Structure 1
Amino acid sequence: MTVRTTTTAAMTVVALSMALAGPAVAAPAGRGDGHEATRRALQAAVADGVPGVTAAVQDGRRGWSATAGVGDLETGKPRSPQDRYRVASITKTFVATVLLQLEAEGRLSLDDTVEEWLPGVVRGNGHDGSRITLRQLLNHTSGIYDYLTDPTFQQTYMAAEGFLEHRYDQKEPEYFIAIAMTHEPHFPPGTSWRYSNTNYALAGRVIEKATGNSYGDEIRHRIIDPLHLTATSVPGTRVTLPRPSSRAYSKLARTATGPTYDVTELNPRLAYGSGEMISSSADLNRFYTSLLRGRLLPPEQLKEMKTTVSSRGTNGYGLGLVERKLSCGVHVWGHDGGIHGSNSDAVTTEDGRHALAFNFNGDWSGDSDAVVEAEFCGR
């Protein structure tokens, strides 16, 4: 149910299309603040059909935020810099961080096999958990089939009729893992790279097996609370967004036309460790800045996290962390993600000094890469 990611080749919930037009851009910062290119990119996203955008930048001690378009197509209410939104696959960085913390504590090794922690779970049609390591889950070299690409799953949870009927379904991760096991692996473990949300459904369960607590509780007491991420949550089965927030919109189809649906309410537990979380742009900047500055992981584990494999284009995928080389030569680290009605991106420079996070509240349009390029390359 999660994740579109332009950087990591995950699924696209729906295809591109044009949205209803929103009102003029609102940006709290004045002109000449050094973010003119970013502001234009946000405006371009709205012109391209995104209902609304909210963004925040932290550059050293200087913060900046801006919004464009609307948060509610019915009332015309604008988006807020404080908006909470579904961050989808950005959840993966939080999950990977917890597993690396557990490794640093000696409670597991990333070279442990999945079978050791979840016996009998990864089996069938060529899948073999005894040949797959936890590290391969985190960097998507496991070859495990991505349940999001299953045709029945797509019809049930992504197409309009299915989503509207099943948006509040109560399913545990094992249900989706079992779907993956009905297919053959994408490739033998360790021989290639392919994004698979099943990997992080398994990773969440490993955290729970190793700690005796829910993966969400571990994220809360290890990351959210210490960093005072007051807008960040692992919502479980809560179907609504906390306030302040905007509505989320989707076409629920692979077309650029057709009706626009309000998809704000859904059961995020269906996404689990692959994309359940909610956050804000300011909180995401604080999280990635703290991570890259070594405040969450010892040097050895942070090095492991930043050890990448080739994924797509010039991007490298580490352990829940993506390295992106921009057109101007700048390297940024982070993750992006998409879920029904929400596309988000969060990146920071390696020194943690310059961070950007933003969200589109429509999942069919807008160029997130253009926003990143604008902020770090000024174009």
Structure 2
Amino acid sequence: MRKALIVAVAAMFLTTGVAQASTSGLQRDLDAVRDSGAVGVQARVVSPGKESAGSSGTSVLGRNVPVSVDGHFRIGSDTKTFAATVLLQLVAQGRLSLDDSVEKWLPGLVRGNGYDGNLIKVRNLLQHTSGIYDYPHAVELEMATEAGFRKHRFKRMAPEKVVELSVAHPPVFAPGAKWEYSNVNYIIAGMIIEKVTGRSWRAEVRDRIIVPLGLRNTTLPGDFPFLPRPHAEGYTLTGTGAFRSTEVSLGWGGAAAEIVSTTKDLGAFWRALLGGKLLPPAQLAEMKTTVPLGPADAYGLGVIRHVTNCGVVTWFHNGGTPGFITGGAVTEDGRTSVITSLSNDGEIKAQGAAMTRLVDNAICRQG
């Protein structure tokens, strides 16, 4: 989820084994992320014939416990790319169109208080141009405090209720008029997957992506709040300190934020996606059709286009949840990926900048 992060930080290859980062440029960049105030960080870089992984910081605040390079973490809004991929696969199969309205598939769901579901298209959902108010973001803001985290950490809520609480607020803008990140767009997208297929979005992601790619450490936990081991503890940083935020239920965030993965699995997914192994060329081109976010970034259909500091065009979708921030990049040909996980969220401006430098540097070193 983590709306501010998205805006601000904007097993496909044979390898010769995983090289530990040691004193390499990757390790120096990992240490720089740690020195910027991160509790713990891990990263993995995969390119043809080569794979390296490293970590820095600690898994447990106040103790010297190394961060595992195979640790599980919540990928947050990177979940959106999985959901967008499934929807675009359904488009390729002729089972729906990006120009179908929300009203066509979910009659009455987005209606009243200035909303008309006939005017909001599937494309608007995937590209965050729907104008629907983002109720989940209001909850995120509360969870940045320890009291708010404890209030919402085991939240249970049906997707219909999340949408209801969102449309209780007037639209932010008319559909298609501009861009603004809204988690509820992907909660609705998950509901459309279910309506089109007759199966949950989780089942479709599992059977269309996770199983075919052999992503054995990628899970869809629903309301289950615990991470598989190994994992670093997650922490939320505040202006006055930090609190532990490892266990949290994000099933109510659904297709916007739920998935748990590892740097190895997530990199395999992204290389497969950009390498054309999950979508036909026409749908991959649709996914990469963007609206601008800033001088170096643009948003497509569940993907962010980012130009590195050495001019290489990459794609990814950053993610954030209580306790974890996910960053990364994959080259346009799908041959090189960089995946990072920071085991804290909250006050992360400096760490976010350091993590972006790590990603850019790793991509540029491969070139």
Q: TM-score, normalised by structure 1?
A: 0.89
User: Cα offset for 1:167?
Assistant: 0.9
Secondary structure of the residue aligned to 1:347 is strand
User: Cα offset for 1:160?
Assistant: 1.8
1:103 aligns with 2:95: no
Secondary structure of the residue aligned to 1:107 is coil
What are the within-5 Å matches in structure 2 for residues 146-295 of structure 1? 146-150=134-138, 153-154=139-140, 157-251=143-237, 253=238, 255=239, 257-258=240-241, 260-295=242-277
Q: Is the 8 A contact 1:8 1:317 kept in 2?
A: no
**Where does residue 16 of structure 2 map in the other structure?**
none
1:114 aligns with 2:102: yes
1:349 aligns with 2:335: no
1:322-364 per-position Cα deviation (integer Å, ceiling 9, x unaligned): 1101221111011101110100113100011111001000113
**Where does residue 22 of structure 1 map in the other structure?**
none
**Where does residue 23 of structure 1 map in the other structure?**
none
**Where does residue 376 of structure 1 map in the other structure?**
363
1:147-200 per-position Cα deviation (integer Å, ceiling 9, x unaligned): 1343xx356544321221331121112222112112121211111111111100
Secondary structure of the residue aligned to 1:271 is helix
RMSD: 1.9
**Where does residue 314 of structure 1 map in the other structure?**
296
Deviates more, 1:171-180 or 1:105-114: 171-180
1-structure distance, mates of 2:8, 2:221: 25
Distance 1:218 1:264, change over 3 A: same
Matching residue's letter, 2:20: P
Q: 1:58 aligns with which of 12, 32, 46?
A: 46
User: Cα offset for 1:376?
Assistant: 2.2
2-structure distance, mates of 1:203, 1:42: 35
1:81 aligns with 2:69: yes
2-structure distance, mates of 1:108, 1:210: 8
User: Cα offset for 1:125?
Assistant: 2.2
2-structure distance, mates of 1:249, 1:236: 21
User: Cα offset for 1:297?
Assistant: 0.6
User: Cα offset for 1:5?
Assistant: 5.6
Secondary structure of the residue aligned to 1:328 is coil
2-structure distance, mates of 1:165, 1:115: 33
Q: Is the 8 A contact 1:126 1:185 kept in 2?
A: yes
Q: Is the 8 A contact 1:136 1:189 kept in 2?
A: yes
1:196-234 per-position Cα deviation (integer Å, ceiling 9, x unaligned): 111001001111111111111110010000000111111
Distance 1:290 1:338, change over 3 A: same
2-structure distance, mates of 1:83, 1:109: 38
1-structure distance, mates of 2:201, 2:174: 28
Q: 2:121 aligns with which of 126, 129, 133?
A: 133
- Percent identical: 41
Which structure: greater helix fraction? 2
Secondary structure of the residue aligned to 2:213 is coil
2-structure distance, mates of 1:232, 1:109: 28
Secondary structure of the residue aligned to 2:267 is helix
1-structure distance, mates of 2:159, 2:145: 21
Matching residue's letter, 1:273: A
1:77-135 per-position Cα deviation (integer Å, ceiling 9, x unaligned): 21111101000000000000000011111111111000111111112321211101001
User: Cα offset for 1:9?
Assistant: 5.3
What are the within-5 Å matches in structure 2 for residues 8-47 of structure 1? 8=7, 28-31=20-23, 35-36=24-25, 38-47=26-35
**Where does residue 323 of structure 1 map in the other structure?**
305
1-structure distance, mates of 2:44, 2:165: 38
1-structure distance, mates of 2:64, 2:195: 46
2-structure distance, mates of 1:105, 1:159: 45
1:283-336 per-position Cα deviation (integer Å, ceiling 9, x unaligned): 111001000111001111111111111123321111101110122111101110
Q: Is the 8 A contact 1:4 1:339 kept in 2?
A: no
Matching residue's letter, 2:360: E
2-structure distance, mates of 1:49, 1:108: 46
2-structure distance, mates of 1:348, 1:321: 11
Secondary structure of the residue aligned to 2:118 is helix
